[in-house]
């Protein structure tokens, strides 16, 4: 579509416009240039799924053009990005036309825009009181689904807003989209509904954990993974991706005589959401609120921005709509966006910056990881200057070079992450990244088995970096959870010769620590107490803390449940290990190799002699199974526990933690600002709602 010369020019123009953020668009030549730049980035985003600017940066350029057109209507071109939807499609799936165009949303980052929007709306509507709805803006992949005579008929991607790609077979696999729904109860014969396909953050984290354990680079973010999964040619592979569909809009609904029921039988957007919820669809039913002015809307939006990280799905803002459907019709739409809706965007979590250098770190398993040193950039209110680049394959497949402009994301558990290198803006000064052949710490020769993507230092006990990183992992929250014993203490004690193996953690000389600068009697007593408490941790925490290659938290629990004493694992064959749940050949081999190393056996025996629990029975004595068979959901902010700590405590006592409230939930552990989960638990009626103190009473 674009020649190499055009690509080079467009990328240069993009950087010029982004660099000159205060520049106003004031003449037709600037309008033409900026319009072409925006169309180019629409093509990269919607067609290639390969953006090279952040959403925020695109929005700022779009807003700049829109403001110029508002100042002078003579600057509005017929093919302006503000006047249409987007560009062409790929040809991998059949093209289908949406019944109603799937428009973009106008967006805002500040209150002034919201106030202006409210004034415009109220100036255009003749009816009395106007109310507005607010709900989360899911950061996923847009879809349009049609039901006819109560049956799922067709599903499509958003495409260019007018024409999408038919992905009916892939969408039929999603259990959150019913294959039949009783729309006829509401007098509807045919309906087109809009939604977003997403991946839960915990499911995405688990997918990436497995990839990292296997030496593969993690997936960039849930949004890209959802979009890519929908376009896979094998529906069975789609089924493995953990996709869910939220539906949040009814764009078209007619009765058997062909008359629209929207605005007549169904009067409001909230009525639509209630209908979809009652028919079994996954909707923002619990999160949707109605307000009569934008001050209240803004308060609600700000509340959601504060709790976005605790929400199970990635969201990048809130969608605000005129609630009345007849008022929506009266206000109408432009060719680009409905006038009756607006997206209030949260702080950007994506930005472009320069890759200044690359250093190589050595981890606890000997994996040598390239770490990018970046020109510091603000992303979501945090300054990012250093990010992991995982392995050699990550560098090669993305062709990342020192001096490149890179697109950095900060979201969820992949924080931060280089999403891509922008090759089109290179000027020839960039330098290739050379992977070392020797360990940067101990100079041992690096090894990379054919089936792996990671180069490793095999000097397990002689490489100082591995020794230190293993100790840091051992004391961490998800391992032995020795509170207050972070990497700063580990590194300091190691430098002083007080810590050389994880066994030394239980042989610390507290009198010597008391003499160190910065330590007082109380802090030393707290450290001693935390270390003593850790001796009683569950067996799965010890297994995970020992840092066996490829053994994550879930695999550690599987192993702990298969033995009564940790050293029984020494006698398992690889075939026996693979009979256990979710353990494949690579993981089984990693476990076998660990227990064949005599130094590892000596470490375990030494820990046992120092009082560390190495058996499942002892753990059961410490943590009873009082919560066995009980399902918990955690919501809000607890006084004494983080979300992960509360989950770990519930699991230690035999309980199970899920992410959403249902009739199968036994307990909702609710803290401050509990939100929609509390409301749903109350509406179900059978869920026991408890606070932190009541939870503590349960496990006494």
Q: Which residue, of 42, 75, 108, is where some domain finishes?
A: 75
Class of residue 179 by CB neighbours under 10 A (exposed 0-12, middle 13-18, buried 19+)? exposed
Residue 412 lies in a domain: yes
CATH number, residue 422: 2.40.50.140
Residue 83 lies in a domain: no
Q: Which residue, of 385, 419, 436, is where some domain finishes?
A: 436
In a 13 Å sphere around the CA of 476, the CA atoms on its Cβ side amount to 18
Buried b vs exposed e over 383-402: b needs ≥16 C-beta within 10 Å? ebeebbbbbbebbeebebbb
Q: Which residue, of 576, 605, 621, is where some domain finishes?
A: 621
Q: Sign (positive/negative) of CA torsion 485, 486, 487, 491?
A: negative
Q: In what order do the strands lie in the sheet with 341-345?
A: 107-108, 341-345, 315-322, 132-138, 289-291
What percent of the chain shows pLDDT beyond 90? Answer: 45
Residue with the bigger pLDDT between 46 and 248: it is: 248
Class of residue 571 by CB neighbours under 10 A (exposed 0-12, middle 13-18, buried 19+)? exposed
Alpha-carbon distance 284 to 247, whole Å?
Answer: 8
Contact 285, 277 (CB under 8 A): yes
* pLDDT, average across residues 401-427: 82
Buried b vs exposed e over 515-539: b needs ≥16 C-beta within 10 Å? eeeeeeeeebeebeebbeebbebbb
Alpha-carbon distance 109 to 462, whole Å?
Answer: 53
Q: What is the structure's pLDDT at 90? A: 45
pLDDT in tens, 91-110: 467 889 999 999 888 888 77
* pLDDT, average across residues 431-458: 91
Q: What is the structure's pLDDT at 211? A: 72
Residue with the bigger pLDDT between 140 and 320: it is: 320
Residue with the bigger pLDDT between 47 and 427: it is: 427
Residues taking part in catalysis: 137
CA-only gyration radius of the chain, Å: 28
48: confidence class by pLDDT, cuts 50, 70, 90: low
In a 13 Å sphere around the CA of 515, the CA atoms on its Cβ side amount to 4
CATH number, residue 632: 3.40.50.10190
447: confidence class by pLDDT, cuts 50, 70, 90: very high
pLDDT in tens, 314-354: 898 999 999 999 999 999 988 788 999 999 988 777 889 99
305 and 376 part of one domain: no
**Widest CA span in the chain:** 87
pLDDT in tens, 540-569: 999 999 999 889 888 898 899 899 999 999
CATH number, residue 10: 1.10.287.610
Q: How many domains does the chain have?
A: 5
Contact 45, 53 (CB under 8 A): no
Q: How far is residue 389 from each of residues 209, 386, 479, 495, 649, measured CA to CA in Å? A: 15, 10, 24, 28, 33
200 and 304 part of one domain: yes
479 and 422 part of one domain: no
Hey, is 322 helix, strand or coil? strand
Residue with the bigger pLDDT between 250 and 410: it is: 250
Tell me which DSSP letter residue 44 carries: I
Residue 451 lies in a domain: no
CATH number, residue 307: 3.30.470.30
Angle between the N-to-C axes of helices 487-495 and 464-475, in degrees from 0 to 180, rounded to the nearest 10:
140
Buried b vs exposed e over 119-138: b needs ≥16 C-beta within 10 Å? eebeeebeeeebbbbbbbbb
How does strand 667-670 pair with strand 688-690?
parallel
pLDDT in tens, 197-212: 998 888 888 777 777 6
Residue 527 lies in a domain: yes
Does residue 581 surpass a pLDDT of 50? yes
pLDDT in tens, 290-306: 998 888 888 999 899 88
Q: What is the structure's pLDDT at 622? A: 53
Which residue in 593, 608, 613 sits closest to 547, CA to CA? 593
Q: What is the structure's pLDDT at 272? A: 95
Length of the chain: 700
87: confidence class by pLDDT, cuts 50, 70, 90: very low
510 and 400 part of one domain: no
Alpha-carbon distance 53 to 597, whole Å?
Answer: 49
Name the helix (H) or strand (E) containing 491: helix 487-495
110 and 188 part of one domain: yes
**All residues at 6 or more sequence positions from 532 whose CB lies less than 8 Å from its CB, including other chains:** none
Does residue 384 surpass a pLDDT of 70? yes
- Partnered with residue 78 across adjacent β-strands are none
Alpha-carbon distance 683 to 579, whole Å?
Answer: 43
Domain that holds residue 406: 350-436
485 and 393 part of one domain: no
Q: Label residue 366 left, alpha or beta by phi (over 0 means left) and psi (-120 to 50 means alpha).
A: left
Residue 85 lies in a domain: no
384 and 471 part of one domain: no
420 and 319 part of one domain: no
Residue with the bigger pLDDT between 654 and 276: it is: 276
Q: What is the structure's pLDDT at 470? A: 95
* pLDDT, average across residues 442-453: 87
1: confidence class by pLDDT, cuts 50, 70, 90: low
123: confidence class by pLDDT, cuts 50, 70, 90: confident
What residue has token string 């010597």? 512
DSSP readout, 349-415? -EEEEEEEEEEEEE-TTSBEEEEEEEEEEEETTEEEEEEE--SHHHHHHHT-EET-EEEEEEETTEE
In the structure encoding, which two tokens stand for residue 98, read together?
């949406």
Contact 298, 114 (CB under 8 A): yes
Give the distance from CA 351 to its chain's centroid: 17
Buried b vs exposed e over 287-321: b needs ≥16 C-beta within 10 Å? bbbebeebeebbebbeebbeebeebebbbbbbbbb
Q: What is the structure's pLDDT at 358? A: 96
Residue 84 lies in a domain: no
Hey, is 427 helix, strand or coil? coil
Contact 314, 201 (CB under 8 A): yes
C-beta neighbour count of 338 within 10 angstroms: 19
414 and 511 part of one domain: no
Angle between the N-to-C axes of helices 55-71 and 28-42, in degrees from 0 to 180, rounded to the nearest 10:
150
217: confidence class by pLDDT, cuts 50, 70, 90: low
How does strand 141-148 pair with strand 289-291?
unpaired
The phi, psi pair for 124, rounded to 5°, reads -105, -10
Q: What is the structure's pLDDT at 340? A: 95
Alpha-carbon distance 469 to 443, whole Å?
Answer: 17
359 and 327 part of one domain: no
355 and 334 part of one domain: no
What percent of the chain shows pLDDT beyond 70? Answer: 93
Residue 447 lies in a domain: no
How does strand 315-322 pair with strand 95-97?
unpaired
* pLDDT, average across residues 255-259: 94
Q: What is the structure's pLDDT at 620? A: 46
pLDDT in tens, 612-632: 999 986 544 556 678 888 899
Q: How far is residue 678 from each of residues 42, 283, 665, 670, measured CA to CA in Å? A: 40, 17, 12, 7
Q: What is the structure's pLDDT at 617? A: 64
* pLDDT, average across residues 239-263: 90
Alpha-carbon distance 616 to 563, whole Å?
Answer: 7
Residue 88 lies in a domain: no
671 and 607 part of one domain: no
Alpha-carbon distance 528 to 521, whole Å?
Answer: 10
Does residue 700 surpass a pLDDT of 80? no
Name the helix (H) or strand (E) containing 228: helix 222-230
Contact 564, 613 (CB under 8 A): no
Q: What is the structure's pLDDT at 45? A: 65
**pTM across the whole model:** 0.56
* pLDDT, average across residues 571-592: 90
The phi, psi pair for 200, rounded to 5°, reads -55, 145
Q: What is the structure's pLDDT at 395? A: 86
* pLDDT, average across residues 519-533: 94
Q: How far is residue 248 from each of residues 288, 315, 321, 337, measured CA to CA in Å? A: 10, 14, 11, 16
Residue with the bigger pLDDT between 677 and 260: it is: 260
Q: What is the structure's pLDDT at 619? A: 46
pLDDT in tens, 8-20: 888 888 888 888 8
Instruction: Give the range among 70-84, 259-273, 449-463, 516-530 with minimum mean pLDDT.
Output: 70-84
Does residue 134 surpass a pLDDT of 90? yes
| Average pLDDT of the chain to the nearest whole number | 87
214: confidence class by pLDDT, cuts 50, 70, 90: low
Q: How far is residue 332 from each of residues 125, 322, 336, measured CA to CA in Å? A: 11, 11, 11
Contact 358, 402 (CB under 8 A): yes
């Amino acid at each position: 579509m674009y020649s190499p010369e055009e690509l080079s020019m467009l990328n240069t123009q993009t950087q010029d416009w982004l660099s000159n953020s205060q520049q106003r668009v004031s003449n037709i030549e600037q309008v033409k240039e900026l319009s072409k730049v925006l169309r180019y980035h629409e093509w990269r985003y919607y067609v290639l799924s390969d953006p090279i600017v952040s959403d925020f940066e695109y929005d700022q350029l779009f807003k700049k053009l829109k403001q110029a057109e508002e100042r002078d209507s003579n600057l509005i071109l017929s093919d302006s990005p503000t006047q249409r939807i987007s560009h062409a499609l790929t040809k991998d799936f059949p093209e289908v036309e949406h019944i109603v165009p799937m428009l973009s949303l106008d967006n805002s980052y500040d209150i002034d825009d919201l106030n202006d929007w409210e004034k415009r709306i109220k100036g255009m509507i003749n009816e009395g009181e106007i109310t507005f709805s607010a709900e989360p803006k899911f950061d996923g992949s847009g879809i349009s689904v049609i039901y006819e005579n109560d049956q799922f008929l067709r599903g499509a991607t958003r495409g260019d807003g007018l024409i999408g790609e038919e992905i009916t077979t892939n969408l039929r696999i999603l259990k959150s989209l019913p294959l039949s729904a009783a729309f006829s109860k509401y007098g509807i014969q045919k309906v087109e509904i809009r939604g977003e396909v997403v991946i839960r953050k915990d499911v995405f984290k688990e997918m990436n954990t497995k990839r990292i354990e296997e030496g593969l680079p993690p997936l960039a973010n849930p949004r890209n993974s959802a979009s890519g999964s929908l376009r896979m040619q094998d529906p069975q592979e789609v089924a493995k991706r953990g996709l869910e569909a939220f539906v949040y809009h009814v764009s078209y609904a007619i009765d058997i005589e062909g008359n629209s029921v929207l605005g007549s039988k169904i009067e409001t957007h909230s009525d639509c959401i209630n209908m979809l919820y009652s028919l079994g669809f996954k909707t923002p039913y619990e999160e949707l609120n109605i307000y009569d002015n934008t001050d209240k809307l803004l308060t609600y939006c700000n509340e959601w921005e504060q709790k976005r990280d605790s929400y199970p799905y990635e969201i990048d803002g809130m969608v605000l709509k005129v609630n009345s459907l007849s008022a929506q019709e009266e206000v109408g739409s432009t060719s680009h966006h409905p006038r009756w809706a607006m997206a209030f965007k949260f702080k950007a979590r994506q930005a472009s910056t320069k890759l200044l250098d690359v250093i190589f770190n050595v981890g606890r398993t000997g994996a040598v990881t390239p770490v990018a040193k970046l020109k510091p950039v603000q992303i979501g209110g945090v300054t990012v200057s250093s990010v992991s680049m995982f392995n050699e394959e990550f560098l090669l497949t993305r062709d990342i070079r020192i001096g490149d402009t890179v697109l950095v994301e900060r979201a969820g558990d992949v924080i931060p992450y280089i999403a891509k290198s922008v090759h089109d803006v290179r000027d020839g000064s960039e330098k290739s990244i050379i992977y070392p052949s020797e360990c940067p710490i101990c100079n041992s020769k690096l090894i990379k088995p054919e089936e792996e993507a990671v180069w490793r230092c095999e000097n397990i006990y002689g490489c100082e970096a591995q020794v230190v990183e293993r100790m840091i992992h051992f004391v961490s929250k998800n391992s032995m959870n020795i509170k207050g014993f972070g990497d700063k203490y580990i590194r300091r004690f190691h430098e002083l010769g007080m810590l050389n193996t994880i066994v030394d953690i239980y042989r610390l000389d507290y009198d010597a620590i008391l003499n160190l600068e910065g330590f007082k009697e109380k802090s030393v007593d707290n450290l001693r107490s935390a270390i003593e408490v850790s001796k009683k941790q569950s067996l799965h925490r010890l297994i995970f803390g020992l840092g066996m290659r490829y053994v994550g938290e879930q695999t550690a629990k599987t192993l702990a449940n298969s033995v009564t004493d940790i050293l029984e694992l020494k006698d398992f064959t690889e075939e026996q290990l693979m009979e256990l749940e979710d353990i494949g050949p690579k993981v089984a081999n990693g476990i076998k190799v660990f227990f064949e190393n005599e130094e590892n056996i000596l470490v375990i025996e030494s820990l046992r002699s120092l009082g560390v629990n190495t058996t499942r029975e002892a753990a059961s004595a410490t943590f009873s199974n009082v919560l066995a068979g009980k399902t918990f959901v955690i919501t809000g902010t607890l006084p004494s526990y983080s979300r992960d700590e509360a989950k770990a405590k519930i699991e230690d006592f035999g309980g199970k933690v899920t992410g959403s409230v249902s009739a199968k939930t036994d307990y909702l552990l609710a803290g401050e600002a509990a939100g929609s989960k509390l409301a749903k638990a109350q509406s179900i009626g059978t869920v026991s709602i408890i606070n932190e103190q009541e939870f503590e009473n349960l496990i006494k």
